[in-house]
Amino acid sequence: MPTDRAVCPFEKDPMSSQAPGQMIAEPVEGGPPALPPVPSILMLAWPTIAGNLLYSVVGLVNTKIVGSLGASAVAAVTTGHRMFFVLQALLMAITAGTTALVARAWGAGDRDEAERVTKASMLVCVLVALVMAVPGLLFAEQLAGIFRLDEETIAEAASFIRWLSVFNVAFAVPFVLGTAVRAAGDTMTPLWIGVITNLINVVLVYALVYGGLGLPSLGVTGAAIATGLAFTAGAVIFLAMWWRGSLRVGLGPGGSLQRRRLMQLVRIGSPAGLEQLVWQGGFIAFLWIVALYGTAPYAAYGIGVNILSLSFVVGFGFSIAAATHVGQRLGAQDPEGAVRSGWHATRLAVVAMVGLGAAVVLGAPFIAGLMIDDAEVVRLTVIFIYILGVVQPLMAIEFTLGGSLRGAGDTRFPLITTLTGLVAVRVVLAGCFAWLGLSVEWVFGALIADYVIKAIMLVWRFRSDRWKSIPV
């Protein structure tokens, strides 16, 4: 087993000399070298933002490629992705515990514990990924049929779900290791591995959808296979680096599967898992209501989300930075520093998401027209983008303060927030609008009330300071 401890290839070993853009703590006299203090919010956020912006751009390119096949193909991919994300909810739950525990251990200077948590998370997530692949393989048609789309769309969506499920473990590996190294303050390694993964993805999607590079033309199914192969390449890179000791969080010592550690992952991750199930279930219910209006509104929703993901990923980057900062500050017994980190990340996210969201809103008609040649889908996509553009500052609050609470180990309150905003407000309002016979634009508008409620609840919780004393 490798024993050397290297970090991201773009950084120097924090045990020996200063890494670019970071300050290295002075070693304690007579003791081991201290771990480096957590980098600034921006230093942590920008690689994640850059990587996810690339992912969003690749998603838009993939949508354009699939969109050339028609609205039915876009609806099939939207359905396939949504149902696949439901099957990933347990993985997201486990990695919520990974973030909190690795960040706390790293902030306390306990590298061995951070590595044990990572190894335990990896073993559990691989097992869960194998189990959760089964419903995707065996019941793909039933899952795709929930939205009552036409038979052709359901068949394409089922094929998409089935092929993504084949690669379930390949999705889990980068998910776990990327989460662990980010929680330890290294956001560069997931960035450059993500760049490689996405470049492979876009080339393979073009080749397998249209038929190129000597590969067959497989349409929507080709898009799923291309994504799975690209993430397999990313998983191989991550595993090779982990085995060689080239990640900041290495294989570490034995004894990772202790009952106490597994129970910690379960206790912290369970509310996050329930939140994901509620979140995905709420989205399915909302999409089901949208699907009542036909394929065009359904496809417009999928395209609109892809376009506005250019703004969402900024919030996600600050969410990861906030979770890492808050967790490490609490691990270092600095609760007031954790508070400052959470609010600072929120301010930065609001400014960035409002700016980028405004640019997307201004360019909405042009961008939507590039995605698909269907006037009604384009019209509804633009309206959807306008509605979500209004709530960009509220989404920034949800991303960063939600991330801050999860980084502190407070995973229950985000669950309550999601239940209230997404289910009790968005889905209920959308259902009422549909029942009253109002247009689909009213259904889209239910999003605004959802984000208003969630932002209010998360601000109240973070101001209450109760999350500081969550035992981890």
CA 426 – CA 276 distance, rounded (Å): 16
Per-residue pLDDT for 324 more than 70? yes
CA 110 – CA 52 distance, rounded (Å): 30
Q: What is the reported pLDDT for 256?
A: 63
CA 347 – CA 425 distance, rounded (Å): 26
CA atoms within a 13 Å half-sphere pointing along the CA-CB vector of 113: 19
Beta carbons of 66 and 103 less than 8 angstroms apart? no
Q: Which distant-in-sequence residues (6+ apart) come within 8 Å of 469 by Cβ?
A: none
- Mean pLDDT over 59-80 rounds to 74
Beta carbons of 318 and 352 less than 8 angstroms apart? yes
* Rounded (10°) angle between helices 41-67 and 220-244: 150
| Token pair 């330890």 in the structure block, residue | 184
Whether the full predicted model's pTM is greater than 0.75, yes or no, is no
Q: What is the pLDDT of residues 159-189, one digit of tens each?
A: 888 888 889 889 889 989 998 888 887 878 8
Instruction: Please state the domain extents for the chain.
Output: 41-464
* Enclosing H/E stretch for 364: helix 364-371
Q: What is the reported pLDDT for 73?
A: 78
Q: Which of 352, 361, 408 is nearest to 45 (CA)?
A: 352
pLDDT: which is higher, 49 or 432 = 432
CA distances from 227 to 156, 207, 219, 233, 306 (A): 16, 12, 13, 10, 16
CA 91 – CA 257 distance, rounded (Å): 17
| Chain centroid, CA 5 distance in Å | 28
Of the listed ranges 99-108, 258-267, 285-294, 424-433, the least confidently predicted one is 258-267
Per-residue pLDDT for 21 more than 50? no
Tally of CB atoms within 10 A around 469: 11
Q: What is the pLDDT of residues 244-256, one digit of tens each?
A: 888 888 887 666 6
